[in-house]
Chains A and B, each alone.
Chain A
Amino acid sequence: MTKPTQPLVEIRVLDLTIFWAGPLPSAMLADMGAEVIKVEGPARLDPFRAYGVPADAPAGLAYECSPLYNAANRNKRAITLNLGDERGRSLCKRLVAKCDVVISNFSPRVLPQFGLDYEALRAIKPSIILTSISGFGASGPWRDYVSFAAIGEALSGLSSLTGYEGEGVLLNGVGVSDPFAGITAAFATLAAIHEMRRTGVGRHIEVSQLEASLPFIADALMECSFTGRVRGRATNDHPYYAPNGSFPARGKDAWITISIQNDAQWQALVEVLGRPEWAAAPEFATTLGRLRSRDRIHEHLALATAAYDKYELTRELQRRGVPAAPVVYPSEQLSSSQLSATGFFQQVDHPYAGRHPYPAFPARFDGLRPPIKRVGPLAGEDNSYVFGELLGISEDEFARLEEAGVTGKPRL
């Protein structure tokens, strides 16, 4: 029987994705045991490889040392194959016949240009599932427009909700429309695999960044639909939690979030702060009073919290039933006792980048975390397995293909 952490061991995925929105769902499938084969052109590697490379990366191997590429492609295999070449396309089609799923986040016109549109894939293998992730989808006036996370966010209305009250729009630094598209595509792909196992028939799944982002701001969209009101930016204000926000703590750029949902939590907060005089104002004792005085409370609170360590104050408030949490920076995440207890970050060796922590799949199955078996496959690392073992290509033939630039070592 398959391990609980590896429910997808019998699935093979051909991964034609770059940057983040596409590699994320194929990494999720790989984490859960699928064999994912990432395809890069020998002269056109995943552009994500260019970002975040440390200055001391080994000469000529900078493209193997991107933290972003190496994390986003954990647990995958990698081959090089030039889809611009007829021989490359023909090998790709032979690979499709060995796979259950093809995932792509090229813009909608690219796969048809390569003769790899869904109809062509189905002719090779009727049960194949094609998942296409793009900015705007394969139809409509914007179908050929280019998109990265910030674009989906602007056009979905999400950016208009992002910033301080009464001020301009800020960038949501997470780049949320990439993971929103990615996690939506992962679920829809799994649904198609589930169905294919019963019926033997494949599907074309299509996810756009713009559309995938919209359910995530459903509260703002439904507010507009149900009241006509157009929500905008509001710092961190909440319809009825007051106070609610991030407040300075002791130290450089240290912040703590506090949300007061009821009167008991307010009283607990006041006690933890040592019953300061300002907090005794009778109008602060009730939720409606605190909502009316929200700005004044926020000003007082910001001065009061500044004396405390954000972790200690969090512990004290949580002990008394008050939702509070530090704003945690990346370096601090790595030393979080919570995350080390749950095994969220895993230390993995990489031949050129060294040993570093990577976030694992976020769910646990019967208490077990899916392992990160390897990170950021090297360009073409699995050429011999894929072309030799899977496709049965001889070493001589492979040498000829490499000579012709169809596969082989990166040519940058």
Chain B
Amino acid sequence: MHNNIALLDDIRVLELAGAPAQAICGRYFADLGAQVVMLEAPRSGSPLRFTGPFLDDLPGPDRSGLFLYTATGKFGVTLDYRHPEGAAILRRLLAQADLVIDNGDLAAGQVSIDWREINPRLVLLDLRKFSRGGEYENYLATELQSAAMGGWMAQLGEPGRNPLITNSLTCVSFVAGVVGASAALAAVMRARSGGEGCHVELSDHEALLACTRYNETYFSYTGTEIKRCGKSFTGWTPTYRIFEAADGFVSCAASTDAQVESFMTLAGVSSDRFATREERYEHGSELVEKLNAWTSSHSRNEVFHQAQAWRVPMGSGATVDEVFDSEQLKERGFFDLIDHPATGSRRYPGVPVLVDGRRPVPVRRAPMLGEHNGQIFCDELGLSRKELLALAEMGVV
């Protein structure tokens, strides 16, 4: 084992600031040690700086929780690459990079830069709403449309009522970013081992569909359409569902016969009419009612720990504030405490991976707008301070 856990410290990533998918992709690379340089528009910055939630509900370029979380660990520079002087700088950055996370400008030809010619080993990750080549290619989408077409909304809501998404936009918009991180890294590895660069294309639409539980294949095999089912799940055991607790809810995933039988024993439900898997499916709602009578007379945590002691998969329903105080997450040091001049010290979700038993810690807080212009443009690319000043007054940086 070695001390340094920066697995990707020889990889250079350029991120053209854009949507949450690009931002989380860059963040996952930075978490594991890559040098990630985020390019923002001069004077206005990443659109995420103006997307909530904001510190104390007061918007400002260094007060967005979404921006500060996703930009943690990155270098920040400003560059108008549509300006010829800016494009020249972007070319030099691309020449040194392994991966560029595109916001659409390069792949769609918004800037006239032939990235393959500049750097034949460069990988371009092209994260889109819908893939090229089909009728939806240029469709607009918020998280709602991505989830509607990506098969997620079909599975959430009460039967007969309007389909839903979970009340978190990142829950939908981060998926393509994290899947894309794997595809892009594999392409970088190929380029490193004597191969060429690559145009990696991925849409929210297909990334979400790839992360559903193969419902289309299921339909083809069985003719059963997996649709939203309220507190439970079509095609699974009746005990895989939300139950009530005295102080909230619990989530139960009892799936195997042994798990369901243990849960029944714990809740004092006799096996009359529920002796076999077939009987439990047939009298499912009755079984659920009896189990619910037991769960709803105990607290969430009583149900959680007692069920787990019987090896029944059960979870206490946490509210968002309670997650910060979770005994498990505290013990494992999940949350980061990050100091930033504009916000003071605040808690952030940490890196969701342990390497050799240790959790990577972000090496820098989110950058202020253009904070690393001097370091990247002057120290690394060799622009003089005078040139940087001129470019700044021109609005190029």
Residues from chain A with Cβ under 8 Å of B131 in the complex? 338, 342, 344, 364
Contact with B along A119-160 (1 / 0, CB 8 A): 000000000000000011111111001111111111111111
Cβ of B220 and Cβ of A356 under 8 Å apart? Answer: yes
Cβ of B166 and Cβ of A172 under 8 Å apart? Answer: yes
**CB-nearest residue of chain B to A358:** B217
Query: In whole angstroms, what is the CA distance A267 to B5 when docked?
Result: 53
Q: How far is the CB of B320 from chain A (nearest CB, A)?
A: 4
Residues from chain A with Cβ under 8 Å of B230 in the complex? 170-171
Main secondary structure of the interface of B (DSSP, over half): mixed
Of A78-86, A91-99, A241-249, A380-388, the one with at least 4 CB within 8 A of chain B: A241-249
Extra inter-chain contacts (5) besides given A259-B145, A342-B132, CB under 8 Å: A7-B187, A32-B186, A221-B324, A323-B145, A333-B215
Residues from chain B with Cβ under 8 Å of A244 in the complex? 142, 144
Cβ of B226 and Cβ of A330 under 8 Å apart? Answer: yes
Q: How far is the CB of B140 from chain A (nearest CB, A)?
A: 4
User: Given contacts A137-B332, A328-B149, A345-B216, is CB(A214)–CB(B165) below 8 Å?
Assistant: no
Query: In whole angstroms, what is the CA distance A340 to B135 when docked?
Result: 10
Query: In whole angstroms, what is the CA distance A67 to B280 when docked?
Result: 23
Of A174-182, A284-292, A394-402, the one with at least 4 CB within 8 A of chain B: A174-182
Residues from chain B with Cβ under 8 Å of A195 in the complex? 7-8
Asked whether B365 is an interface residue with its Cβ less than 8 Å from the other chain, the reply is no
**In the complex, chain B residues 253-270 whose Cβ is within 8 Å of any chain A Cβ:** 253, 255-256, 259
Residues from chain A with Cβ under 8 Å of B326 in the complex? 155
Q: How far is the CB of B190 from chain A (nearest CB, A)?
A: 4
Query: In whole angstroms, what is the CA distance A1 to B190 when docked?
Result: 9
**CB-nearest residue of chain B to A310:** B148
Cβ of A7 and Cβ of B140 under 8 Å apart? Answer: no
**In the complex, chain B residues 83-106 whose Cβ is within 8 Å of any chain A Cβ:** none
Cβ of B242 and Cβ of A159 under 8 Å apart? Answer: yes
Residues from chain B with Cβ under 8 Å of A20 in the complex? 213
Cβ of A1 and Cβ of B196 under 8 Å apart? Answer: yes
Asked whether A365 is an interface residue with its Cβ less than 8 Å from the other chain, the reply is yes
Cβ of A333 and Cβ of B209 under 8 Å apart? Answer: yes
**CB-nearest residue of chain A to B221:** A67
Query: In whole angstroms, what is the CA distance A197 to B318 when docked?
Result: 41
Q: How far is the CB of B187 from chain A (nearest CB, A)?
A: 6
Of A47-55, A272-280, A404-412, the one with at least 4 CB within 8 A of chain B: A47-55
Cβ of A153 and Cβ of B148 under 8 Å apart? Answer: no
State which of B10, B133, B202, B331 has its C-beta within 8 Å of the C-beta of A198. Answer: B10
Residues from chain B with Cβ under 8 Å of A114 in the complex? none
Interface Cβ pair total, 8 Å cutoff: 516
Q: How far is the CB of B331 from chain A (nearest CB, A)?
A: 4
Cβ of A4 and Cβ of B65 under 8 Å apart? Answer: no
Most chain B beta carbons < 10 A, residue from A176, A201, A345, A358: A176
Residues from chain A with Cβ under 8 Å of B236 in the complex? 51
Most chain B beta carbons < 10 A, residue from A164, A173, A333: A173
Residues from chain A with Cβ under 8 Å of B224 in the complex? 52
Contact with B along A188-208 (1 / 0, CB 8 A): 101111110111010111111
Can you list 8 A-B pairs, Cβ within 8 angstroms, ordered by A?
A148-B253, A151-B251, A168-B242, A186-B182, A188-B7, A194-B7, A197-B189, A217-B168
Cβ of B160 and Cβ of A253 under 8 Å apart? Answer: yes
Q: How far is the CB of A351 from chain B (nearest CB, A)?
A: 14
Most chain A beta carbons < 10 A, residue from B149, B222, B347: B149
Query: In whole angstroms, what is the CA distance A171 to B199 when docked?
Result: 37
Residues from chain A with Cβ under 8 Å of B110 in the complex? none
Cβ of B174 and Cβ of A227 under 8 Å apart? Answer: no
Cβ of B134 and Cβ of A342 under 8 Å apart? Answer: yes
Cβ of B353 and Cβ of A184 under 8 Å apart? Answer: yes
Contact with A along B185-228 (1 / 0, CB 8 A): 11111101111101111110111011111111111111011111
State which of B2, B228, B315 has its C-beta within 8 Å of the C-beta of A155. Answer: B315
Asked whether B26 is an interface residue with its Cβ less than 8 Å from the other chain, the reply is no
Cβ of B187 and Cβ of A220 under 8 Å apart? Answer: no
Residues from chain A with Cβ under 8 Å of B195 in the complex? 1-2, 4, 7
Asked whether A45 is an interface residue with its Cβ less than 8 Å from the other chain, the reply is no
Most chain A beta carbons < 10 A, residue from B157, B158, B347: B157
Cβ of B158 and Cβ of A170 under 8 Å apart? Answer: yes
Asked whether B55 is an interface residue with its Cβ less than 8 Å from the other chain, the reply is yes
Query: In whole angstroms, what is the CA distance A206 to B354 when docked?
Result: 5
Asked whether B229 is an interface residue with its Cβ less than 8 Å from the other chain, the reply is yes
Residues from chain A with Cβ under 8 Å of B205 in the complex? 338
Cβ of A154 and Cβ of B186 under 8 Å apart? Answer: no
Residues from chain B with Cβ under 8 Å of A61 in the complex? none
Asked whether A60 is an interface residue with its Cβ less than 8 Å from the other chain, the reply is no
Query: In whole angstroms, what is the CA distance A367 to B107 when docked?
Result: 12
Query: In whole angstroms, what is the CA distance A163 to B163 when docked?
Result: 10
Asked whether B272 is an interface residue with its Cβ less than 8 Å from the other chain, the reply is no
